[in-house]
Chains A and B, each alone.
Chain A
Amino acid sequence: MPLQGGQWESLTPESLSAPQRYGLAILSVAAALGGTLVLGRYKFTATEFPLFLFAIAITVWYAGPRAATLAVLLSSLSFDYFYTEPAYSFAITRADIPHFTIFVLFGLLLTWFSSVRHHAERELLRSRNELVKEVVERTQQASLLNLTHDTIFVRDADDVITYWNRGAQELYGWTAAEAIGQHAHALLQTVFPVSMDVVRAELLSTGRWEGELRKTRADGTEVVVASRWSLRRDDQALPAAILETNNDITERKRREEEVRALNEELAKRTTQLEATNKELEAFSYSVSHDLRAPLRHMAGFTELLQRHAASHLDEKSQRYVKMILESAKRMGSLIDDLLAFSRIGRSEAHRTTFSLQQIVQEALADVREETGARNIVWRVGALPTCYGDRSMLRLALSNLISNAVKFTRTRPQAEIEIACAEQQPDRIVLRIRDNGVGFDMRYVNKLFGVFQRLHAAESFEGTGIGLATVQRIAHRHGGTAWAESVLDNGATFYFSLSNARGA
């Protein structure tokens, strides 16, 4: 390589090729020899010793110890040839041996020193390069930690913050410059769930700790974090630093708190409901026992009165007695229907899979006993099996069929159709159609209310609870009941129920 000014600084033995290194040795010695010969012309004496040593020094510095050894050899030969007696011969007189030996030793010593120093310098350079590399790596890692949105900071054994990433800045509001050097728990006003001693004990024994901590941001708002600590120990195994990562779970905690509060409220309501239900139960128990007894007595003794006093009573009084009996009977059925209605709302549904066809047949058998001589044409279609409370559904169908029978009473030939109007895997709709007196669609929304009657009691008896019961049973089966009619032109009742097992 060309040796030009300005490149000398970067000139090292490693950067030169072998011929260049040995060339440099030859050149240096030649220049020193030339120099001392020229100076000798001008009567300057004893310049050879320092000049040769200078050449060796140059060589060892720039071309390394091997080239320098060559330089020492060449210098020695030159020195021997030109400057030891007899001159211009390689022979050495006895008197010049010490002089020559000192020169050679001095040259070798210079070479050795120089080489040792050079070696040390190279080591130094290597360590420096390694250090630089590590610093670069660490810086890269640190900037990687900065990339994450997770909050990460490091504190030393005294809880003084030594590292603070961007996530920490984002969560807490302090910059790294503001946070580093501060006492972590004082800055963040950390609230521990357990005593600090417990935390420390776990950290020291397992090297880690995790838990929920409350901390305060720069703006004074509180934040709940899931905190994970990892302990780093130094060479003597003493605690050196703690890496802490924080995840903001304030929102999650708030929701959990909400859910807990809601559950609590729910439990409270449930208790209230249960209490109300108990009261209702006690009420209906009392109604069923205590209200029916006096009614039975009224009916019973009126009946006895009628028997005993029949001969003494005029026609009007007889009618009064009859009306008392009718009213007592009606009140009895009202109480029974009301109790049945309230029981449907309160009692547990016992769901099984059963045939609708069968319960319709059972309901028909009940009704036929009462219809006796009437001319009724029954059309019962194929009905599916369903999943529900058998006795409730039987009651509902029974009520609907009785209704159809009742409101076709005025027809010379009644026609009643029971069919499945819709069948899907999770829904069944039944249809009960009659050719009876029907009702005015203007009052359709009153049809299924408790005690709602669309017909005068004298034309069609009833308590007004039957259809309310039907609706309640439909609701308990995830369905509904509805009806369509044209006044005096028959009515169609629909009853839907969810057939899904979860309903």
Chain B
Amino acid sequence: MANLGRILLVEDDPKDVELTLTALDEYNLANEVVVTHNGEEALDYLHCRGPFATRSNENPAVLLLDLKLPKVDGLEVLQQIRAAEKLELIPVVVLTSSHEEKDMVASYKLGVNAYVVKPVDFHEFVNAVKELGVFWGVINEPPPGSLGKTSRL
């Protein structure tokens, strides 16, 4: 089922989505990814409402969150996740273009688990995304109530 994924990617830019998926694909992690294109859609997914009302209600093992998003932006999504009892334990990694200290401080204050600036260099980018996917999607033990590891790895 396409709605089942251990990695929830929240990214509005289709090119970034493609690059990220390409990177994850190098470790065969692309199939584990659910993509949402703005904050509202991401929250719908997490709360199993609207188009995602029928999905099984496990949480993803990790959320890769862009900050600059249409409608509900990344920091707001993060805030709502941390405020919701069912979602508050989900590991969240901010994956952003910006080096802005302001964003970084705000993210950490809201309890982000990691903050990664997307490198311009493609190799570095691939490496960063790959490592993130492997660490959070495979190595890290997610909190109870998350989708467990599949047998494919």
Question: How many whole Å from A331's CB to the nearest CB in chain B?
Answer: 8
- Which residues of A sit under 8 angstroms from B16, Cβ to Cβ? 293, 296-297
- Let me know if A332 and B98 touch, CB within 8 A: no
- Which residues of A sit under 8 angstroms from B122, Cβ to Cβ? 296, 299-300, 302-304, 325
A301 sits at the interface (CB 8 A): yes
User: In the complex, what residue of chain B is closest to A285 when comparing beta carbons?
Assistant: B100
- Let me know if B98 and A296 touch, CB within 8 A: no
- Let me know if B99 and A288 touch, CB within 8 A: yes
- Let me know if B121 and A332 touch, CB within 8 A: yes
Q: Give the docked Cα–Cα distance between A290 and B123 (Å).
A: 20
A336 sits at the interface (CB 8 A): yes
A409 sits at the interface (CB 8 A): no
Contact with A along B89-108 (1 / 0, CB 8 A): 00000001111111000000
Q: Give the docked Cα–Cα distance between A297 and B118 (Å).
A: 11
Main secondary structure of the interface of A (DSSP, over half): helix
Question: How many whole Å from A335's CB to the nearest CB in chain B?
Answer: 8
- Let me know if A300 and B125 touch, CB within 8 A: yes
User: In the complex, what residue of chain B is closest to A298 when comparing beta carbons?
Assistant: B120
Q: Give the docked Cα–Cα distance between A293 and B111 (Å).
A: 25
A500 sits at the interface (CB 8 A): no
- Let me know if B99 and A339 touch, CB within 8 A: yes
- Which residues of A sit under 8 angstroms from B98, Cβ to Cβ? 285, 288-289, 292
Question: Pick the contact of B125 from A296, A331, A336 — CB < 8 Å?
Answer: A296
- Which residues of B sit under 8 angstroms from A336, Cβ to Cβ? 99
* A297-B15, A300-B19, A304-B22 given; A292·B120 CB < 8 A: yes
Contact with B along A268-291 (1 / 0, CB 8 A): 000000000000000001001110
**B-side interface residues, number (CB < 8 Å):** 21
Contact with A along B3-46 (1 / 0, CB 8 A): 00000000001011001001000000000000000000000000
- Let me know if A288 and B121 touch, CB within 8 A: no
A329 sits at the interface (CB 8 A): yes
Tell me which residues from 98 to 143 in chain B have a Cβ below 8 Å from any Cβ of chain A: 98-102, 118-123, 125
- Let me know if B125 and A292 touch, CB within 8 A: no
- Which residues of A sit under 8 angstroms from B100, Cβ to Cβ? 285, 288-289
Q: Give the docked Cα–Cα distance between A356 and B99 (Å).
A: 26
Question: How many whole Å from B96's CB to the nearest CB in chain A?
Answer: 7
- Which residues of B sit under 8 angstroms from A331, Cβ to Cβ? 120
Q: Give the docked Cα–Cα distance between A304 and B15 (Å).
A: 12
Question: How many whole Å from B7's CB to the nearest CB in chain A?
Answer: 19
A411 sits at the interface (CB 8 A): no
B68 sits at the interface (CB 8 A): yes
Q: Give the docked Cα–Cα distance between A292 and B100 (Å).
A: 12
Q: Give the docked Cα–Cα distance between A301 and B98 (Å).
A: 20
- Which residues of A sit under 8 angstroms from B15, Cβ to Cβ? 293, 297, 300-301
Contact with B along A296-336 (1 / 0, CB 8 A): 11011111100000000000000000000100110110001
Question: How many whole Å from B61's CB to the nearest CB in chain A?
Answer: 25
Question: How many whole Å from B62's CB to the nearest CB in chain A?
Answer: 21
A260 sits at the interface (CB 8 A): no
- Let me know if A299 and B97 touch, CB within 8 A: no
- Let me know if A289 and B22 touch, CB within 8 A: no
A347 sits at the interface (CB 8 A): yes
Q: Give the docked Cα–Cα distance between A393 and B62 (Å).
A: 37
Q: Give the docked Cα–Cα distance between A80 and B106 (Å).
A: 136
Question: Pick the contact of B101 from A289, A301, A302, A343 — CB < 8 Å?
Answer: A343
- Let me know if B99 and A299 touch, CB within 8 A: no
- Which residues of A sit under 8 angstroms from B19, Cβ to Cβ? 296-297, 300-301
Contact with A along B52-80 (1 / 0, CB 8 A): 00000000000000011000000000000
- Let me know if B121 and A347 touch, CB within 8 A: no
A295 sits at the interface (CB 8 A): yes
Question: How many whole Å from A501's CB to the nearest CB in chain B?
Answer: 25
* A296-B19, A300-B19 given; A332·B101 CB < 8 A: no
Contact with B along A363-384 (1 / 0, CB 8 A): 0000000000000000000000
Tell me which residues from 382 to 408 in chain A have a Cβ below 8 Å from any Cβ of chain B: none
Question: How many whole Å from B9's CB to the nearest CB in chain A?
Answer: 15
Q: Give the docked Cα–Cα distance between A302 and B102 (Å).
A: 32
Question: Pick the contact of A296 from B22, B97, B99 — CB < 8 Å?
Answer: B97
* A289-B68, A296-B125 given; A332·B120 CB < 8 A: yes
Q: Give the docked Cα–Cα distance between A288 and B68 (Å).
A: 11
User: In the complex, what residue of chain B is closest to A306 when comparing beta carbons?
Assistant: B122
- Which residues of B sit under 8 angstroms from A295, Cβ to Cβ? 120
Q: Give the docked Cα–Cα distance between A199 and B68 (Å).
A: 65
Question: Pick the contact of A299 from B13, B68, B120 — CB < 8 Å?
Answer: B120
User: In the complex, what residue of chain B is closest to A293 when comparing beta carbons?
Assistant: B97
- Which residues of B sit under 8 angstroms from A300, Cβ to Cβ? 15, 19, 22, 122, 125
- Let me know if B123 and A328 touch, CB within 8 A: no
- Let me know if B118 and A296 touch, CB within 8 A: yes
User: In the complex, what residue of chain A is closest to B23 when comparing beta carbons?
Assistant: A300
User: In the complex, what residue of chain B is closest to A347 when comparing beta carbons?
Assistant: B101
- Which residues of B sit under 8 angstroms from A332, Cβ to Cβ? 120-121
Q: Give the docked Cα–Cα distance between A51 and B53 (Å).
A: 153
User: In the complex, what residue of chain A is closest to B15 when comparing beta carbons?
Assistant: A297
Q: Give the docked Cα–Cα distance between A332 and B122 (Å).
A: 12
Question: How many whole Å from B122's CB to the nearest CB in chain A?
Answer: 4
- Let me know if A289 and B123 touch, CB within 8 A: no
Interface contacts beyond A296-B125, A297-B13: sample of 13 additional A-B pairs, CB < 8 Å, sorted by A: A285-B98, A289-B67, A289-B97, A292-B97, A292-B120, A296-B97, A296-B119, A297-B16, A300-B19, A303-B123, A325-B122, A328-B120, A332-B121
Chain A residues within CB distance 8 Å of chain B: 285, 288-290, 292-293, 295-297, 299-304, 325, 328-329, 331-332, 336, 339, 343, 347
Top 7 closest A-B pairs, CB basis?
A332-B120, A303-B122, A300-B122, A297-B15, A300-B19, A288-B98, A292-B97
